[in-house]
Amino acid sequence: MIDDATIETGEATAPPLVLDKSLRLACYSIRAVALIWWLWSSALAFWIWSDRETTVGRWVKLYDLDPASVSAAGYYGSTLVVVAIAAVAAVMVYFVWRLTRSYLDGRVFTVEAAGQLRKVALAGFAAVAAGVIGRPIQVAMISTSMFGKLPFYAWFGPPDLLYLVICGFLLALSVIFEAAAEIAEDNAKIV
């Protein structure tokens, strides 16, 4: 049976999927884990950076930093970099939230959902880039003498690489889902 909207637009529209309980639980779990990850990592970073004496003392022990070379402006400027990195990560969590909202509304295998998955991947790439780019900026604001003393993994570590792999996988998946959704839409128009 064809409804009036199909006759007027000439397009057949698939009804939204009704997710079963386990898929709904997965969406809510993904939301919760993304939010907990952001809150945990941001709170940990803010907690570390909120205690200037302890943080600078740790660098003195680890990297032989001269504490007198760390200005208040440089330290608090580098703390603002931490806030900026957390803000970029929050954007990624926002896009995860929007994607799971689409899934919960039954828009799973659609071009729109594939586009939202792509936004999650791109926001993830931006969050990793913000972290990797933010680290040398922080060090430069604190003391340029630390550049030669920090190991490579302080600039780009295994977690950064893992995040890039996950974001690359999500980006590839979004392309696959978009192609599948377009094929499904074309088939629906033929039928």
Q: Which residue ranges make up each domain of the chain?
A: 20-190
What pTM value is reported for the model?
A: 0.82
Q: What is the pLDDT of residue 65?
A: 86
Q: What is the pLDDT of residue 13?
A: 53
Q: What is the pLDDT of residue 2?
A: 43
Conformational region of residue 3, where left means phi above 0, alpha means psi within -120 to 50, and beta covers everything else? beta
Question: Is 100 exposed, middle or buried, given 0-12, 13-18 or 19+ CB atoms closer than 10 A?
Answer: buried
Kindly give the parts of the chain with pLDDT less than 50: 1-12
Q: What is the pLDDT of residue 127?
A: 97
Pair 126, 89: CB distance under 8 Å:
no
Sign for the pseudo-dihedral over CA of 171, 176, 182, 184: negative
Q: What is the pLDDT of residue 14?
A: 54
Pair 138, 65: CB distance under 8 Å:
no
